[in-house]
A and B are shown apart, each in its own frame.
Chain A
């Protein structure tokens, strides 16, 4: 199936990663962050000072204790970092010199049934890779999804290039896909970037429906793809995961151990040499960024500039993230910045003269470029929202917490990340993503 998207935009920010792998020293510290999993309440299994092997359980999901979160490496639990109201923020680990893996038992892959696969994934800690829409929470293993979606590409600013990452794949991706497809009676969709010639691994994947998605960001967003291919109605559940997660799942089934190494891109205007790195999930970014970034005051983001999480310079890579972005902290005030011609001020609108140079890439920073206001300008969100909903009206419905209206306006089909471009471009600087998240939380609470 071909899907053409016309609404959206690719933000011209400097610092996409060169297609080269760079070496780095193995980090000493790792962390698993319960905050990476939306609406998760963790139930700790380990205590500070305990020794764990890669694959040993660190904590469970309090609501469904079958869902386990396991250690990516072997070593000691250094610290359980808590925030307000003793909320657990990080389970910090100190790594051994050499990783020791816990051995899992598994019958031959050909004989696996759906339940065997789920059980293995739950035990080994692979299950959290499977997420669901609506709500983008970890999937419920007792449910049957109507379809599984995998987006083979990421269209977000400076996103890592999966065609490069999967170069030289020797069948592991297909092996992983064969396992994933058994989780669902419906179709498994593999969505390819129609704008470029995708890697053979994706093009020739078997057992899945291949769709080509054309158009600018957010064409790579899973929510946009689901909407155009098999939209979510009230009551539907769709599962999704990223291609690197498929690879991880394939590897773990093959080797019967929890090995969550992956390839990430270090990107952003403040990175001196943006490159790809092979790391283990949850690793500290300190070794990556300490030498390789400029001297400015910086912001480190696990993920991309639109949806990522802010972390410290010695923070940890998020569970689902395969990208680190470093931008300048924009805490400067600008004399008559709103009045000057602005040849150097990037904007999706043509209100600054930067439109004269449409090819240029910009050193974008975290300045808000203005204060929050009530909605004045209209039609702006609509040009960046390739889903058939009314974004502003939906946001207003969320603000007044009208559940029926939210449902009517299609809240099940959206996710905060689908509104990221709206938030970026918003003249009134409204925090759109957190409003959408709040709306989804209200709905989830109401029906749970």
Chain B
């Protein structure tokens, strides 16, 4: 610690004004403040300041993501090993929890490394170029992006989507705090529309499914989307829908626990709820958004239940089950709550969350081309959030104007 401090103090003059490396000062500063909370003291206003800062805030979100991360690693291995047959390479008679975790760990670590390395490189480049400090925003985006990807996504695609997200999603608007769209969702949307074959179908959600015949894994949503508008009495459909009953692959229990194929972080509702508890307890995630989005999704699913025609089994799925599949929960807790792209007023947050929930289910069920409605719904509501805020603020302004009018009338 002392040694680190001494090294930093020794090289600091090179980066300061008139130093040979002054251009790289933002990079040095980012590194120094990463290691040490700086010795700055208050100069105006309050003489004391709260201990919390943006780094702390971001690190709490990462901690909240750890349950999803660990579960996602394990589930990657589990989905893989459970599909292997004795004639395949890597088959094991018995595999432990640890085997699955280690398999997933080695599969997933490259994604995290690429995401952080590429994303932070772009951030540093922008910071140096624009002479501002490196913001902490990417610490969370860098973790969220790989968690929303299929495990086998090619690394170059991941890198490309990260660059797109940081540059177009964030930096062109002025960096962290200025963006309109959620950067992590921007990355996912980019890869979804640019390389749809890598983001849908039954060959991407389980590790090595593309290279090994016999391994497949459709997501629950993909299954449901394929059942729409087909004679519901056919044996094929009955079999398929049977997978959603209590002893099927996509049962409520499996979906809740997360023993299903899907993007790495999204499958386990229970891991997501642990994250939600951390975010809500520390006050970092907006409970208004999380709760109202849940209500919105639930309500929409109920309405679909009521009006479901016989030929649409998707609509008739139990509302709780509906919310547990796909990335609804993950989006609700980690994506919709991004404070920069969400509505900013307290009333606005409730409206925003509710509409996110309603639209997610609406898009998911009525547009099977996008089996994941949550992503599109949240991005759409990101764009709408300033409008919601505008009306909330306008109401406050009108209250004040009315008070002034009342006073003028009296006198």
On A, residues with C-beta under 8 Å from B are: 11, 13, 231, 233-234, 236, 299, 301, 305-308, 310, 325, 327, 329-339, 342, 345-352, 354, 364-371, 373-379, 382, 388-390, 392-393, 408-410, 416, 420, 423-429, 431-434
Bound CA–CA A336/B35 (angstroms): 5
Whole-angstrom distance from the CB of B177 to the nearest CB of chain A?
3
Separation of A374 and B175 alpha carbons in the complex (Å): 9
A308 with B39: CB separation less than 8 A: no
- Which of B331-365 touch A at CB < 8 Å? 339-340, 342, 344-346, 349
- Name 13 interchain pairs, CB-CB below 8 A, sorted by A: A234-B404, A330-B41, A331-B41, A334-B37, A338-B53, A367-B39, A368-B41, A374-B177, A374-B178, A375-B177, A382-B345, A433-B44, A434-B44
Q: Does B40 contact A (CB under 8 A)?
A: yes
Q: Is there contact, CB below 8 Å, between A347 and B177?
A: no
Indicate whether B176 reaches chain A with its CB closer than 8 angstroms: yes
Inter-chain CA distance A123–B288, complex, in Å, is 57
Complex formed: what's the CA distance from A231 to B404 in Å?
10
List residues of chain B with CB within 8 A of the CB of A378: 286, 339-340, 342, 344
Residues in B with CB closer than 8 Å to A11 are 48
Known: A379-B346, A416-B45, A433-B44. 12 other contacts (CB 8 A): A333-B37, A338-B53, A349-B52, A351-B283, A367-B37, A369-B49, A370-B53, A376-B137, A420-B46, A423-B45, A426-B50, A433-B45
Contact in complex: B50, A347 (CB < 8 Å):
yes
Contact of B135 among A351, A365, A373 (CB under 8 A): A373
Residues of B within 8 Å of A330, CB to CB, are 39, 41
In the bound complex, how far is the Cα of B37 from the Cα of A345, in angstroms?
13
Partner pick for A335 among B35, B52, B175, B344, CB 8 A cutoff? B35
A389 and B50 contact, Cβ closer than 8 Å, known pairs A339-B59, A370-B37: no
Q: Is the CB of A349 within 8 A of B41?
A: no
Partner of A427, one of B45, B57, B397: B57
How many angstroms between the C-alpha atoms of A345 and B59 in the bound complex? 16
Interface residues of B in 166-204 (CB under 8 A from A): 174-178
Q: How far is the CA of A58 from the CA of B346 in the complex (A)?
A: 51
- Closest chain-A Cβ to B392's Cβ sits at a distance in Å of 8
Residues of A within 8 A of B344 (CB): 378-379, 392-393
B→A interface (CB under 8 Å): 1, 4-5, 33, 35-42, 44-57, 59-60, 133, 135-137, 174-178, 281-284, 286, 288, 339-340, 342, 344-346, 349, 393, 396-397, 399-401, 403-404, 407
A336 nearest CB neighbor, chain B only: B35
Given A339-B59, A377-B284, A424-B46: A369 and B51 interface contact (C-beta under 8 Å): yes
Query: What's the minimum C-beta distance from A431 to chain B, rounded to whole angstroms?
Result: 5
Are A376 and B176 closer than 8 Å at their CB atoms?
yes
Q: With A349-B52, A351-B284 given, is the CB distance from A338 to B59 under 8 Å?
A: yes
* Bound: A377/B177 CA distance, A: 9
B54 touches A427 (CB 8 A): yes
Do A371 and B33 touch across chains, with their CB atoms under 8 A apart?
A: yes
Which of B39, B45, B136, B176 has a CB less than 8 Å from the CB of A420?
B45
Residues of the B chain whose Cβ atoms lie less than 8 Å from the Cβ of A431: 44-45
Instruction: Decide: A377 near B45, CB < 8 A? Known: A347-B52, A370-B55, A371-B40.
Output: no
A366 touches B54 (CB 8 A): no
How many Å lie between the Cα of A392 and that of B344 in the bound state?
A: 9
> Once the chains bind, are A301 and B47 in contact (CB under 8 Å)?
yes
Evaluate contact between B54 and A370: CB separation under 8 angstroms: yes
Whether B51 contacts A408 by the Cβ 8 Å rule is no
Q: Is there an interface contact between B48 and A327, defined as CB atoms closer than 8 Å?
A: yes
CB-CB under 8 A from B40, the residues of chain A are: 331, 367-368, 371
Could you tell me the distance in whole angstroms from the C-beta of B411 to the nearest C-beta in chain A? Answer: 10
Contacts of B47 in A (CB 8 A): 299, 301, 305-306, 308, 310, 325, 327, 366
Complex Cα spacing A364 to B37, Å: 16
Nearest-neighbour CB distance to chain B for A304, whole angstroms, equals 9
Closest 5 CB pairs of A and B: A370-B53, A374-B177, A337-B37, A338-B55, A433-B45
**A273 to B240 alpha-carbon distance, docked (Å):** 77
B176–A352 touching, CB < 8 Å: no
Chain A residues with CB below 8 A from B400, complex form = 233, 408, 410
Q: How far is the CA of A388 from the CA of B398 in the complex (A)?
A: 12
Return B47 CB to nearest CB of chain A, in Å.
5
Q: B286: nearest residue on chain A (CB-CB)?
A: A379
A392 CA to B343 CA in the complex, in Å? 13
Report whether A390 and B393 are in contact in the complex, using a CB–CB cutoff of 8 Å.
yes
Query: Roughly how many angstroms separate A234 CA and B407 CA in the complex, as a whole number?
Result: 10
Q: Given A370-B53, A373-B177, A307–B46 Cβ distance below 8 Å?
A: yes
Contacts of A334 in B (CB 8 A): 36-37
Known: A305-B47, A333-B38, A364-B48. A351 touches B54 (CB 8 A): no
Choice from A13, A349, A367, A373 contacting B176 with Cβ under 8 Å:
A373
How near does chain B come to A20, taking the closest CB pair, in angstroms?
25
B54 in contact with A428 (CB, 8 Å): yes
Question: With the chains together, A424 CA to B44 CA distance in Å?
Answer: 11
| Residues of chain A with a CB closer than 8 A to B399's CB | 388
A349 to B44, CA, bound (A): 22
Knowing A369-B50, A409-B393, A433-B45 are in contact, say whether A351-B176 is a contact too (CB < 8 A). Answer: no
Chain A residues contacting B52 (CB-CB under 8 Å) are: 347-349, 351-352, 369-370, 425, 427
Which residues does chain A contribute within 8 Å of B286, judged by CB atoms?
378-379
Q: Which residues of A contact B37 (CB under 8 A)?
A: 333-334, 336-338, 367, 369-370
In the complex, what distance in Å separates the CA atom of A368 from the CA atom of B54?
Answer: 12
Which residue of the partner chain B has the closest CB to A234? B404
Query: Contacts of A389 on B, CB cut-off 8 Å?
Result: 396
Q: Is the CB of A374 within 8 A of B176?
A: yes
Chain B residues near A377 (CB, 8 Å)? 54, 57, 284, 339
A366 near B51: Cβ-Cβ < 8 Å: no
Q: What's the Cα separation between A72 and B346 when bound, in Å? A: 49
Given known contacts A374-B178, A376-B176, is B281 in contact with A367 (CB within 8 Å)?
no
Nearest Cβ in chain B — how far from A437, in angstroms? 9
Say yes or no: A433 contacts B46, CB within 8 Å: yes
CA distance A349 to B5 in the complex (A): 29
Q: How far is the CA of A378 from the CA of B177 in the complex (A)?
A: 10
